[in-house]
Amino acid sequence: MNNKAAGLIIGAHMSISDGYTAMVRDAISIGANAMQYFTRNPRGSGVRTFNEEDIKNALKLLSENGIPCSHIIAHAPYTMNPCSAKEDVRRFTIDIMREDIERLEYFPGTLYNFHPGSHTGQGAEVGIKQTAHCLASIMTAEQKTVVLIETMAGKGSEIGRSFEEIRDIIDAAEAENTSIKGKIGVCLDTCHINDAGYDVINDLDGILERFDLVIGLKRLRAVHLNDSKNPFGSHKDRHEIIGNGEIGIQAIERVINHPSLRSLPFCLETPNDLAGYAAEIALLRTLYKD
């Protein structure tokens, strides 16, 4: 890695199927100094067998390469729904997320990202209260893991489609459990916000001013860096390879260099294999201004 590129914290969504150590090794092999993985199979709730040796080796490899756990995003399975109309689904989501957080304490400071859910016809206001209750139930003052709410595109009955909805979730969770005050963070997904109606191409400054006003920039802890297959405001959520979509390379270049974003961990979730991710990371490093 040359000096010019050393400042950009960038990674991609990786497979965890061969364990933590293999994931970290793969991430390093594509030039990443950040990474994301699913805590469980997104299609089910099964969790990998817990292997202390694997965790120890992964932690060693991370530290040898100067990658702190705060550059790792553990993504909750997106099939979980903390604001389902079905009570058993909501309860199951709380159980799964609580167990995930317990396991993540082995990687202190990991970012635990989740989708705030779909209200499935109950209305956004009810959904916001239920997702807030989930956070208030699973988080503790002692945990090292940082829980992040992901900004959503607003497809179907998704909540978290606006900064205001995310603020309302945070406010309600902190009101229910005052011991977690200031501990909930946010992950900004560039495809999702553009699809949600935030104009990433023409109004990045305005978007971040709005974010600061409504939520507060100190809550912003990570960025999902994706282009979008669909135009601004489409509420679709289909990711595209960097530069091949509606957002385009110039807007992405402004995102990674923006003073409010440039020091955060960026993670690609583009439709790509490892070689494709390596090429995207190399391109983004040349566009990053030190």
Residues of this chain that bind Fe ion (CB under 5 A): 150, 189, 224
Token pair of 18 as six digits: 């061969």
The site string for Zn ion over 31-70 (x = CB under 5 A, - otherwise) reads ----------------------------------------
Of the two residues 177 and 228, which places its CB atom closer to Fe ion in the complex? 228
Binder among 227, 237, 240, 246 for Zn ion (CB under 5 A): 237
Among Zn ion, Fe ion, none, what binds residue 237 when CB lies within 5 to 8 Å by partner kind? Zn ion
How far apart CA 215 and CA 193 sit, in angstroms, is: 15
Helix 87-104 to helix 124-138 angle, to the nearest 10 degrees? 40
Which residues contact residue 78 at a Cβ distance below 8 angstroms, ignoring those fewer than 6 apart?
42, 115
Q: Which stretch binds Zn ion (CB under 5 A): 88-96, 124-132, 204-212, 229-237?
A: 229-237
165 sits near Zn ion (criterion: CB under 5 A) = no
The span from the first CA to the last CA of the chain, in angstroms, equals 14
Buried b (16+ CB within 10 A) or exposed e, 63-101: eeeebbbbbbbbbbbeebbbbbbeeebbebbbebbeebb
Among Zn ion, Fe ion, none, what binds residue 224 when CB lies within 5 to 8 Å by partner kind? Fe ion
Write the CA distances from 268 to 32, 34, 217, integer angstroms: 10, 10, 21
Q: State the nearest-atom distance from the C-beta of 199 to Fe ion, in Å.
A: 19
Q: State the nearest-atom distance from the C-beta of 65 to Zn ion, in Å.
A: 28
Q: Which stretch binds Zn ion (CB under 5 A): 25-33, 38-46, 176-184, 232-240?
A: 232-240
Look up residue 66 and give its DSSP letter. Answer: T
240 sits near Zn ion (criterion: CB under 5 A) = no
Q: Which stretch binds Zn ion (CB under 5 A): 26-34, 74-82, 137-145, 237-245?
A: 237-245
Residues 155 and 236 sit within 8 Å (Cβ to Cβ): yes
150 sits near Zn ion (criterion: CB under 5 A) = no
Of the two residues 144 and 155, which places its CB atom closer to Zn ion in the complex? 155
Q: How many residues bind Zn ion, per CB under 5 A?
A: 1
